[in-house]
Structure 1
């Protein structure tokens, strides 16, 4: 049974969500603080995390950065903040969905199911595709660079494999948005740029001299052909 970790400090909301998760046939763990969540993840992994932004001991956005050091499982933000900037920040950090309070518990469970289906579905890229120094394992949703796994979020994975699949082709930001996101209306050019920046940083963690992604100013991005032969 799929395990969901709920990180929410308001007991009444937590009880409502936990009941809805039980009805949806999910196993669940509940933590009221960020530190407790990190300890819970270290003890027992979860397949998805529902994360409140306003926790008593930390900001949910900051907590996600620490969570990403442990796991790349999907994260749904749960928050009373409805500002668009906050939503964009959450998505840029690697969040997979953003639910604003007050919300329907049934809708939240439906969104959990949708995110889990997306995360388990292999993107349209060749199985174990080779592209120069890159190796794509689309069954495990992993990309290896120079033999080392890149710790990518789901959307970073989708963006990078899109580029790997057509080395040399310049993908516009709009094209990347339409092909990598299910709800393009919520995403901006800034989001695409932030994901590319994160991908580049993770590649340089493996090889500081590597720069396989080309920026075409005013248009978009491409994987350099010289880094994509084979």
Structure 2
């Protein structure tokens, strides 16, 4: 169906149903990852490169809308929700889910919904132009950043942040812009979430490109990505 195995995360506290779904998707050629708890699912969303998230609408202590919002603040990966009723499915789609199906959903019907989402997602990213910053090529379609054949191993959130900085290389990007675009929420008082991500990206960048690129702090504003010319590198 697709050139490379698509990575699909299944978040479902019903372990038996989750296992059955994982097994089915693997038989269909997908790379399926299970998460049997909300915390495990949200952690995977932040740290795994994913093509689709399938999530049960019923989560302990959370509404479907709240779970969807939690996913959206961490990633722009498409979300397919599993709903109890047609009314619930329509409501969660209006809340922003890419699609929703009613449980139990016949396997072939679910497969068709998955295929539709992945095709739409691939099409929307197909025209994204790679961004070249110094020795690094940032590919928004594949969500990878490479120097030659060496990738910078970024998490989903880190890539979103680095892509934003790369698109504005040489100029500052304010934290007021970064927070909603990367984390899906405004910056809070004493909020250092983005600072932590920047620190991690700096370390990973240095391991691949050395000092050719630098993320500099802009006091009172935010951050900017700097491309150092070869002659400057010789003096560092």
TM-score by length of 1: 0.55
Written as runs of structure 1 = structure 2, the 5 A alignment for 1:66-85 is: 68=48, 71-75=49-53, 79-82=59-62
Name the structure 2 match of 1:10. Answer: 14
Distance of 1:191 and 1:91 partners within structure 2? 16
Q: Map Cα deviations across residues 102-144 of structure 1 (whole Å, 9 max, x no partner).
A: 993444566144996668634997x233210211233333221
Alignment partner for residue 219 of structure 1, among 218, 221, 225? 221
Written as runs of structure 1 = structure 2, the 5 A alignment for 1:7-46 is: 7-10=11-14, 14=17, 30-31=18-19, 44-46=29-31
Answer yes or no: is the 8 Å Cα contact 2:136–2:147 preserved in 1.
yes
Q: Map Cα deviations across residues 168-208 of structure 1 (whole Å, 9 max, x no partner).
A: 21111112234x35x84466554433432343343244356
Answer yes or no: is the 8 Å Cα contact 2:216–2:226 preserved in 1.
yes
Name the structure 2 match of 1:175. Answer: 177
Aligned length, in residue pairs = 199
Name the structure 2 match of 1:111. Answer: 97
Name the structure 1 match of 2:124. Answer: 121
Name the structure 2 match of 1:135. Answer: 137
Distance of 2:138 and 2:30 partners within structure 1? 24
Over 3 Å counting, the alpha-carbon distance change for 1:124 and 1:133 in structure 2 is: same
Name the structure 2 match of 1:18. Answer: none
- Report the alpha carbon displacement of residue 146 of structure 1 after superposing the two structures with TM: 5.3
CA RMSD of aligned residues (A): 5.2
Distance of 1:41 and 1:190 partners within structure 2? 39
* SS of corresponding position for 1:169: coil
Answer yes or no: is the 8 Å Cα contact 1:144–1:150 preserved in 2.
yes
Distance of 2:22 and 2:61 partners within structure 1? 21
TM-score by length of 2: 0.54
Written as runs of structure 1 = structure 2, the 5 A alignment for 1:181-200 is: 181=182, 184-185=184-185, 189-200=191-202
Q: Which runs of 5+ in 1 are unaligned?
A: 15-29
Distance of 1:74 and 1:147 partners within structure 2? 26
Q: Which runs of 5+ in 2 are unaligned?
A: 101-116, 232-236
Q: Map Cα deviations across residues 45-75 of structure 1 (whole Å, 9 max, x no partner).
A: 25x8785525xxx94455557x72xx43344
- Report the alpha carbon displacement of residue 37 of structure 1 after superposing the two structures with TM: 5.5
- Report the alpha carbon displacement of residue 225 of structure 1 after superposing the two structures with TM: 3.4
